[in-house]
Structure 1
Amino acid sequence: MSEISISIPSLSENIRIVESFIDNAKERFSLDDDIYGNIMIAVTESVNNAIIHGNDGNKDKNVYLSLNMEENTITFNISDEGQGFDYNSLPDPTAPENIDKPGGRGIFLMKALSDELSFEQEGKTVKLSFYIS
């Protein structure tokens, strides 16, 4: 098992650091383009949520990103220093009353693109797993 981790201040321009982190993982673990694309969208979405919602865009708070590669699964953990949130009471972005609302699509997207999605520490940590063939 190998683990790699970084921490970044909560600034949206730091998303490019996350993109480089994922590019390096693609090279290191020879990820195919489909999985790479899903990882890129889901993980950057999660980090964005951590910066904006978790840490309220406070540059003095960090977002922590790590990846674990174990057998046929690559797992990303994204943590923030915020208060957490109730992930069980999120509105369904596909429900008719929510279609025109801008928020709520991120987690829906993350769930659709990853093979496993879970929240830990009252929602302060998101765990995204992808199965590698």
Structure 2
Amino acid sequence: MKNISIEIPSLTENIRIVESFIDNAKEKYELTDDVYGNIMIAVIESVNNAILHGNQADKQKSVKLSAALLEEEIVFSITDQGVGFDYKNLPDPTAPENVQKIGGRGIFLMKNLADEIQFKDEGRTVELTFYID
């Protein structure tokens, strides 16, 4: 298993560092464009959530991002220093009462783009798995 990882302060402008990290993962792991596109959107959404919701945009706190290549999948792990959240009771962004709301689509997007999603450590860590064979 080949791992790469970074840690960034909780500033939204650091998303460009995350984009570079994903670009490096694409090259290092020779990912296809389809998988790469899904990874880029899902991982950026997750890091953005970690910065804004998990760490409350507190630049004293950081977000850890790692990628691990297994035989037929790549797993991205995103961890914040927040208090966690109730990931078992999320509103459905496609429900009529939620369609007009500004937020609430990030996890929905992640679930639809990643092949697997797991929340750990009371929601402070999100693992996004993408199949690559």
User: Identity rate of aligned residues, in percent?
Assistant: 68
Matched letter for residue 25 of structure 2: A
Corresponding position of 1:127: 127
Ranges of 4+ aligned residues in structure 1 off by more than 2 Å: none
SS of equivalent to 1:88:
coil
Corresponding position of 1:113: 113
Instruction: Please report how far the alpha carbon of residue 104 of structure 1 lies from its aligned counterpart in structure 2 after TM superposition.
Output: 1.0
Matched letter for residue 128 of structure 2: L
SS of equivalent to 1:98:
coil
Matched letter for residue 125 of structure 2: T
User: Over aligned residues, Cα RMSD in angstroms?
Assistant: 0.4
Higher helix share: 1
Corresponding position of 2:96: 96
Give the total of aligned pairs.
Answer: 133
Task: Determine the C-alpha separation between the residues in 1 that align with 2:89 and 2:100.
Answer: 19
Q: Please, which runs of 5 or more residues in structure 2 have no aligned partner?
A: none
Matched letter for residue 120 of structure 2: E
SS of equivalent to 1:4:
strand
SS of equivalent to 1:107:
helix
Corresponding position of 1:20: 20
SS of equivalent to 2:91:
coil
SS of equivalent to 1:7:
strand
Q: Please, which runs of 5 or more residues in structure 1 have no aligned partner?
A: none
What TM-score results when the alignment is normalised by the length of structure 2?
A: 0.99
SS of equivalent to 1:77:
strand
Task: Determine the C-alpha separation between the residues in 1 that align with 2:125 and 2:16.
Answer: 20
